[in-house]
Amino acid sequence: MKTLLLQFLRSIRQSFQDLLPIILVIGFFQLVVLKQGVPNFGGILAGGLMVVLGLSLFVQGLQMALFPLGEDMAYSFVKKGNLYLLLIFAFTLGFGTTVAEPALIAIADEAATIAAGGGVIENEAQARESYATGLRLVVAFAVGFALLVGVIRILKGWPVQYLIIGGYLGVVVMTAFAPQEIIGIAYDSGGVTTSTVTVPLVAALGIGLAKSIRGREPLIDGFGLIAFASLTPMIFVMAYGMLF
């Protein structure tokens, strides 16, 4: 009990250190550059305490739940030896965690507004909504596909750079042909797909797979899933923009 408390106190101190740069930057600009006072000091103090406490809890939960869950799943699938089940799992995980992602919903709605303004689709609520839903499904499908390919890559031991660089060349070529309005959204959709809860889980899954397959090195083969998940949405979204 005492060690647990000590550990938690240490993690609180670490979280405070993590937050310190933001406090310094905002404080410097507020006081020195903009030459203004600090409004609502009590609120800032309370909020800061919440951030520190929250970050410590998150890191604790990471080690208790998300990391072991991801690695255990990887071991179980390898032990079971059923490739198709593993691939279905990878796709479902990518699709399921992305389709309901709040950041993605926001981007999709904004994209629909741009498309309607640019005359790509009719400016009616229904047309906008079906465009936004279509975009969300496309991005979720892209992330599912990314995890599927990423898992095959770990199993086969392919070097990550060939696939990723090939993908980037695809992005560059498609940028030349995709409609102007979609390009910014496509680039950004790559970044929003990987949420704070998904990232640790997917990282643990990849490392668990690389650890449990002979001949794979966790550092070289285990990482890379997140990179796939941020690359494929760009390609799929530009394709979506070209087709609709």
Of 127, 197, 212, 213, the one binding other proteins (CB under 8 A) is 197
**Which residues, numbered 205-234, are part of the site for other proteins (CB under 8 A)?**
207, 217-227, 229-230
**Which residues, numbered 56-95, are part of the site for other proteins (CB under 8 A)?**
56-69, 72-73, 76-77, 80, 85, 89, 92-93
**Which residues, numbered 134-153, are part of the site for other proteins (CB under 8 A)?**
none
For the bound state, the minimum distance from the C-beta of residue 124 to other proteins, rounded and expressed in Å, comes to: 19
Among candidate residues 237, 243, 231, 196, the one with its CA nearest the CA of residue 110: 237
Complex with other proteins: residue 13 or 54, whichever CB lies closer:
54
DSSP string, 195-219: -TTHHHHHHHHHHHHHHHSTT--II
**Which residues, numbered 19-38, are part of the site for other proteins (CB under 8 A)?**
19, 21-26, 28-30, 33-34
Complex with other proteins: residue 130 or 195, whichever CB lies closer:
195
Q: Which long-range contacts (CB under 8 A, 24 or more apart) does 35-39 make?
A: none
Kindly indicate which of the ranges 123-131, 187-195, 236-244 contains the residues binding other proteins, using the contact rule CB under 8 A.
187-195
The CB density around residue 49, as the number of other CB atoms within 10 Å, is: 12
Kindly indicate which of the ranges 15-23, 123-131, 236-244 contains the residues binding other proteins, using the contact rule CB under 8 A.
15-23
B/e letters for 210-244, b = 16+ CB within 10 Å, e = fewer, are bbbeeebeeeebbbbbbbbbbbbbbbbbbbbbeee
> Is residue 235 involved in binding other proteins (CB under 8 A)?
no
How many CA within 13 A on the CB side of residue 48? Answer: 17
For the bound state, the minimum distance from the C-beta of residue 121 to other proteins, rounded and expressed in Å, comes to: 15
Which tokens hold the place of 74? 């990887």
